[in-house]
Amino acid sequence: MPPELCVRVDGVEIQVPAECSVAAALRSAGFSSTRHSLDGTPRAACCGMGVCFECRVRIDGVERLGCLVRVREGMEISRDA
Amino acid sequence: MRELRTEILVVGAGPAGIAAAVSAERAGARALLVDMQAEPGGQIWRGQWNKATDPAARQWLGALRASPVETRYGLRLIDLPAPGLAVFDGDSGPLRVRCERLVIAGGARERLLPFPGWTLPGVFGAGGLQVLAKNGWPVAGQRIVIAGSGPLLLAAAATLRGLGAKIVRIAEQTGWRDLAGFGAGLLRHPRKLAQAAGLARRLAGVRYRGNTWVAHADGDDRVRSVTLASGSHREQIHCDALAVGFGLLPNTDIARALGCELRDGAVWVDGHQHTSVAGVYCAGEGTGIGGVDQALAQGEIAGCAAAGRAELAGAALARRRQSDRFAANLRRHFVLRDELRRLAEPDTVLCRCENVRYGAAATCTGTREARLQLRLGMGHCQGRICGAATEFLFGWNAATPRPPLAPASLACFTATSSSENPPQDPT
């Protein structure tokens, strides 16, 4: 098994792969979306390189791009950005 | 507010920026290299910082490690409030940098075009899914369709297949005649030809179709299928992910914010990679799409020139000429077809951030009206995605970037507004 670490997503503790971006960690944990658009439809990572801002999440209270940030032990991630 | 001083500030730590910073130090100048990602390598060398399986990445990332170049990662350029002053924001809070000369190495982004279903989770850029997968996005066992245009489709397919994905189709909108022409042009570039042969080997058995483009994607909470078009023929393919990229576009926002002249959508530079603005250089994809060899050659030239030692870049000049020919071959043969202008339907979202639909935007006369009336291009991405789309769809000029160039913290705004009279830091 590849190494894992523990983060909280929307308040729930989950195990995710250690060597990946936050966006990849969320997908690995089964989340298919990172936010909702203005009309409520789900959105997820698209451009992969910090351009489209679709993968934005709140990490430890600060809005960040999931594709550019590496996942770290104990991160608080919320999908309400 | 933290502040750094340097002789040469290099923005962007992909191949061009790394080559520029390392070359500037070798030429006797002090350089500071800043990037928004967590580590150097840009998009093409993502994940190579630890693995370094690519020979060029190993060489240049090694050179960067060994060089005295100062580096800062996880910082995004927010503003250039005065000549020689740059404000960044990121993980560790805002950072102000004072420099004598600036090298812009901002790379490229993918051209994404709207089609019904393109906002579904599971629909990505082609290079987009490739870089996501390089950073651990799970693709093993997934059925993936790749569509769009350009050699990046093949590179993305090879990466994804190498990670265990099942590539069920590659749909290239360019016709066979142009693909053959592009292939023939590669004969003049032995390195590129070897890369192409390598890709062909890694993609053996994958169905590659020319003259074929994406018509629409369908799904529920995520993509479930894509319908491809070729002439009047339609084919629906079930998939877990759809990666669609219509070529690369030079990132010009920093250069435009500084008032640098553009030509054909790319930053104009002279033989020393110097832009039309004094003390500002540009290297890599920002000057026109040409790939990693062009980026490295231009980076070396820009670094030496910015250090005042342009004559040290001798060998890179010939490599730059070679990669210019490759870039021209790329432009000539991957021209987007008209059908792609008619994919979006009136209710298809065009501006993903502000949810502006194609039908509403089409009633406007230009970028300014669409911004004022509809907020098109005024959300988080600041028109980086829809600006390229409206340029292709309607022929609109993109809006001139204004600070903040990206969403930033309030602390960063304080830093920017007080830039002319920096307050004394009490610590």
Residue at token pair 């390229």: B388
**Which neighbouring-strand residues pair with B166?**
B143
Nearest-by-Cβ selection for B381 from A23, A51, A63:
A51
Residue at token pair 């297949």: B161
Q: Which CATH code is given to the segment(s) B112-246? A: 3.50.50.60
Residue at token pair 């040290």: B312
Query: How many angstroms separate the CA of residue B120 from the nearest CA in chain A?
Result: 6
Contact A48 B124 (CB under 8 A): yes
Between the CA of residue B114 and those of A19, B122, B123, B253, B350, what are the distances in Å? 32, 15, 11, 22, 6
Alpha-carbon gap, residue B418 to B277, rounded angstroms: 24
Contacts of A61 in chain B (CB under 8 A): none
- What is chain A's length? 81
Contacts of B222 in chain A (CB under 8 A): 32-33, 42, 44
Q: By CA distance, what is A66's nearest residue in B? A: B132
Contact A20 B137 (CB under 8 A): yes
Contacts of A45 in chain B (CB under 8 A): 124, 128, 132, 137
Contact A52 B38 (CB under 8 A): no
Helix ranges, B168-247 (H): 176-186, 190-202
Contact A37 B112 (CB under 8 A): no
Give the type of residue at B186.
Answer: L
pLDDT in tens, B402-419: 899 998 988 888 766 654
Contacts of B353 in chain A (CB under 8 A): 53
- The mean pLDDT value for B72-83 works out to 95
Helix ranges, B271-396 (H): 291-306, 314-333, 358-361, 367-374, 386-394
pLDDT in tens, B183-202: 999 999 888 899 999 999 99
Contacts of A51 in chain B (CB under 8 A): 109-110, 381, 384-385
pTM assigned to the model: 0.94
Alpha-carbon gap, residue B268 to B163, rounded angstroms: 38
Interface probe for A, chosen from B135, B139, B144 (most Cβ of A below 10 Å), is: B135
Please give the CATH architecture assigned to the domain spanning A4-78: Roll (3.10)
Mean pLDDT is lowest, of B113-127, B162-176, B406-420, for: B406-420
Nearest-by-Cβ selection for B135 from A24, A44, A56:
A24
- The mean pLDDT value for B160-168 works out to 98
Q: Which CATH code is given to the segment(s) B2-109+249-330? A: 3.50.50.60
Alpha-carbon gap, residue B404 to B145, rounded angstroms: 36
Contact A68 B74 (CB under 8 A): yes
Strand runs (DSSP E) across A1-59, as ranges?
4-9, 12-17, 35-36, 42-43, 56-59
Q: Please, which contacts does A23-29 make with residues 24 or more away whose CB atoms are closer than 8 Å?
A: A23/A55, A23/A65, A23/A66, A23/A67, A23/B132, A23/B135, A23/B137, A24/A71, A24/B132, A24/B135, A24/B136, A24/B137, A24/B138, A25/A71, A25/B136, A26/A57, A26/A66, A26/A77, A26/A79, A27/B137, A27/B138, A28/B136, A28/B137, A28/B138
**Which neighbouring-strand residues pair with B292?**
none
Q: By CA distance, what is B138's nearest residue in A? A: A28
pLDDT in tens, A6-42: 999 999 999 999 999 999 999 999 999 999 999 999 9
pLDDT in tens, B43-57: 999 888 878 788 999
Query: What distance separates the 2 farthest-apart alpha carbons in chain B?
Result: 70
| Interface residue A35 vs chain B (CB under 8 A) | no
| Interface residue A48 vs chain B (CB under 8 A) | yes
Give the type of residue at B136.
Answer: G
Between A and B, how many CB-CB pairs are < 8 A? 114
Alpha-carbon gap, residue A43 to B111, rounded angstroms: 18
Residue B404: asked if its preceding bond is cis (omega within 30°), the reply is yes
Alpha-carbon gap, residue B164 to B257, rounded angstroms: 42
Domain spans of chain A, in order of start: 4-78
CB B288 within 8 A of CB B249: no
pLDDT in tens, B218-231: 999 999 999 999 99
* B423, pLDDT greater than 70: no
Contact A24 B127 (CB under 8 A): no
pLDDT in tens, B360-373: 999 999 999 999 99
Identify the contact set of chain B against chain A, taking CB-CB distances under 8 A.
Answer: 36-38, 43, 74, 76, 91, 109-110, 112, 119, 121-125, 127-132, 135-138, 221-222, 349, 352-355, 379-381, 384-385, 407, 409
Contacts of A58 in chain B (CB under 8 A): none
| ipTM entry | 0.97
Alpha-carbon gap, residue B104 to B363, rounded angstroms: 36
Alpha-carbon gap, residue B392 to B402, rounded angstroms: 22
